Structure 1
């Protein structure tokens, strides 16, 4: 990972180098890790983290710089309530100047105060205007009350925009790679069936598809099992 200069971390040059690093990151995991490490240098925060939205499931904790952030996220994800959840669902930035006095999420705020977190800034990662375009949230944490200035918030929004595009791109690349891998597996499995049962490609694919439907198993997994065991699932 590149070592960003702390002296002027918010310069155009620093963000340009960040954009290059995010573009070059080979996976979603390394993309979000670069984001939180940059946040520690560019913003007045002690801890940072990123959660990513997952279709039909709970948000995923994708990167944290300290276990305390995992605790902060876990409390909200398990209760489905808190500034993080609000930022994710409403596509809105949430600033908590002091967890010891903020009364919007009293139970969560009390636990954060006990953990030594006093200021929180949650910024949504979004690639469009619909709620479906929200890919996650960048969370910034400080042990000092009223730690985040207007400049911090502005920089956090710039960082969030860079992160949003990079995460969406990395996810797309991973999806495409998985799709290519799945096609290769299905092709191999079809070849086994064609050779064993002397059937053509259409019939071999129909057999795989039928087993996928009958066993409620993804076509890719049916193919993988056939390749590994030379048997179709029961």
Structure 2
């Protein structure tokens, strides 16, 4: 019997882990929140409560080629997630950039990640399971699961974590789209306000005000939204 840190949750004691029921529960748990951070928090909480053997969890999100740790469930996870990103070594980095799943049951002796493995072992971590979070159009990062026992994650845990990660990725993608939409609306409103200020102050039309903002943006080498925000803030302070 594979060593585990905790028995499977709920009625998942049989070989198939009652996957349809478990999966339905997970989907309800990780519906998209209004922002990415809150969605990630729900994901890591559900992971600890759902996947057999997990003691702690974290998510590493990929953006513009860089990876950042989000909502770790303990300071040890925060440190180890950051160390993997720093060293560019470890199950998380492997799951993000190489293969979809990486598992180790004795990370201190794992030759794939000698520097990270030694650090993890010193902090009391023996097993890790990292699963890529991806949709059909995007690689979002990885879900990282941690345990202090050796060989904590068996094949059933890997299967469940994979199903979990697939639905978590969909929830994350949904939150990211909501966040992008809100930011686009905020940007549009700020630019519209800045145009109104210029139109009133300089007696110019809508197009002229927009082109003036664009010229300032180009000359100052600043984003258009930043220029518009600065103008609105200056007017607000002077009011």
TM-score, normalised via structure 1 length: 0.90
Give me the CA root mean square deviation: 1.8
Matches within 5 A, 1:63-212: 63-128=71-136, 133-212=138-217
**Does residue 31 in structure 1 map to residue 39 in structure 2?**
yes
Q: Give me the whole-angstrom Cα distance separating, in 2, the residues matched to 1:84 and 1:120.
A: 9
Q: Alpha carbons of 1:15 and 1:174: their partners in 2 closer, same or farther (altered >3 Å)? A: same
Report the Cα distance in structure 2 between the residues aligned to 1:8 and 1:63, rounded to whole angstroms: 28
Alignment correspondent of 1:50: 59
Tell me by how many angstroms 1:184 deviates. Answer: 0.5
CA distance, structure 1, for counterparts of residue 25 and residue 54 of structure 2: 21
CA distance in 1 between partners of 2:204 and 2:61 (Å): 45
Gapped regions of structure 1 (runs ≥ 5)? 1-5
SS class of match (1:65): coil
CA distance in 2, matches of 1:216, 1:92: 39
What is the match of residue 3 of structure 2? none
Give me the whole-angstrom Cα distance separating, in 2, the residues matched to 1:84 and 1:127. 17
Paired residues in the alignment total 223
Please give the TM-score of this superposition, normalised by the length of structure 2.
0.88
Which stretch of the first structure deviates more once superposed, 15-24 or 83-92?
15-24
Q: Which position in structure 1 is the counterpart of 2:224?
A: 219
CA distance in 2 between counterparts of 1:218 and 1:193 reads 18
Larger RCO, structure (CA 8 Å, separation 6 or more)? 2
* CA distance 1:142–1:16, change in 2 (3 Å): same
Instruction: In structure 2, list runs of 5 or more residues that go unmatched.
Output: 1-8
What secondary structure sits across from 1:64 in the alignment? coil
CA distance in structure 1 between the partners assigned to 2:219 and 2:11 by the alignment: 60
**Deviation string for 1:152-183 (max 9, x for gaps)?**
00000011001111101100110011001100
Q: 1:24 and 1:169, CA in 2 relative to 1: closer, same or farther beyond 3 A?
A: closer
